[in-house]
Amino acid sequence: MTAVKLGRIALSVLAIVLAIVWIFPVYWMVNSAFISTAVLQQFTPHFFPGQYFTWSNFTGAISDGSFFGALGMSVTITLLVVAVCLVFAFLGAVAISRFKFRGRKSFVLALLLIQMLPAEGLFIAQYKMVSSVGLLNTVVGVSVIYIAAVIPFTIWMLRGFVAGVPAELEEAAMVDGLSRFQAFMRITFPLLAPGLVASGVYAFLQAWNEFTVAVVLLPAESAQTLPLWLRGFVQASATRETDWGQVMAASTIVAIPVIIFFLIVQGRMTSGIVGGAVKG
Amino acid sequence: MSAHAPGPRIQPRRTTGIPYVLIVPAVIALLLGLGYPLIWQFITAFQKYGLAQQFGKPPEWVGFDNFADLLWNGEFWAVLVRSLLFCVVTAAVTVVVGVLMAQLMNAVGRTVRLILQVSMLFAWAMPVAAATTVFIWLFDRRRGVVNFLLDAIPGVDMNRFDWLGHPITFFIVASVLIIWMSVPFVSFAVYAGLTQISDEVMEAAQIDGAGAWQRFRRIIVPMIRPVLSIVLLLQLIWDLRVFAQITLLKDAGSKSGDFDLLGTYIYKLGTAANDYGMASAVSIIVLIITLALSWVYVRELIKEDEAQ
Residues from chain B that touch A279, judged by Cβ atoms under 8 A, are 196, 308
- Sequence-distant contacts of A126-133: CB under 8 A, at least 24 apart: A126/A213, A126/A216, A126/A217, A126/B33, A126/B37, A127/A216, A127/A217, A127/B270, A127/B271, A128/B37, A128/B40, A128/B44, A128/B276, A129/B36, A129/B37, A129/B40, A130/A217
Contact state of A16 with B115 under an 8 Å Cβ cutoff: yes
Q: Cα(A234)–Cα(A228) distance, rounded to whole angstroms? A: 10
Count, residues in chain B: 308
Q: Cα(B265)–Cα(A270) distance, rounded to whole angstroms? A: 32
In angstroms, how far is CA B23 from the centroid of its own chain? 28
Tens of pLDDT, residue by residue over B209-234, are: 888 888 888 888 888 888 898 899 99
Element (H, E) at A112: helix A104-116
Contact state of A118 with B241 under an 8 Å Cβ cutoff: yes
Does the pLDDT at position B206 exceed 70? Answer: yes
What does each of the 280 residues of chain A score in pLDDT, given as a tens digit? 578 888 889 999 999 999 999 999 999 999 999 998 888 888 788 888 888 899 999 999 898 788 999 999 999 999 999 999 999 999 999 999 888 888 898 999 999 898 889 999 999 999 999 999 999 999 999 999 999 999 999 999 899 888 888 888 888 888 888 888 888 888 888 888 888 988 999 899 999 999 999 999 999 989 999 999 999 988 886 666 788 898 999 999 999 989 888 887 776 666 666 665 544 3
Q: Return the DSSP state at B58.
A: P
Tens of pLDDT, residue by residue over B74-102, are: 999 999 999 999 999 999 999 999 999 99
Q: Is B308 in contact with A140 (CB distance < 8 Å)?
A: no
Tens of pLDDT, residue by residue over B120-140, are: 999 999 999 999 999 999 999
- At the fourth CATH level, the homologous superfamily of domain B81-261 is MetI-like (1.10.3720.10)
- Determine how many CB atoms are found less than 10 A away from the CB of residue B35: 15
Q: What is the pLDDT of residue B3?
A: 46
Please compute the mean of the pLDDT values over residues B269-292 and round it to a whole number.
Answer: 92
Query: Of A14, A196, A22, A170, nearest to A98 (Cα)?
Result: A170
Please compute the mean of the pLDDT values over residues B92-117 and round it to a whole number.
Answer: 94
Q: Which residue did the predictor score with more confidence, B276 or A263? A: B276
Contact state of B243 with A108 under an 8 Å Cβ cutoff: no
Query: Of A155, A109, A276, A151, nearest to B230 (Cα)?
Result: A276
Q: How far is B203 from chain A (nearest CA, A)?
A: 15
Question: How much is the ipTM here?
Answer: 0.90
A84, A114, A270: residue with CB nearest B188: A270
Contact state of A151 with B29 under an 8 Å Cβ cutoff: yes
Q: Cα(B198)–Cα(B203) distance, rounded to whole angstroms? A: 9
Residues from chain B that touch A263, judged by Cβ atoms under 8 A, are 121, 125
Residues from chain A that touch B19, judged by Cβ atoms under 8 A, are 95-96, 99, 101, 104
Give the alpha-carbon dihedral of B256, B261, B262, B268, to 10 degrees: -20
Residues from chain A that touch B227, judged by Cβ atoms under 8 A, are 274, 277-278
- A107 interface with B at CB cutoff 8 Å: yes
Does the pLDDT at position B196 exceed 80? Answer: yes
Q: Is B172 in contact with B138 (CB distance < 8 Å)?
A: no
Q: What is the pLDDT of residue A184?
A: 85
Nearest residue of A to residue B45, measured between CA atoms: A125
Query: Of A36, A84, A38, A86, nearest to A58 (Cα)?
Result: A36
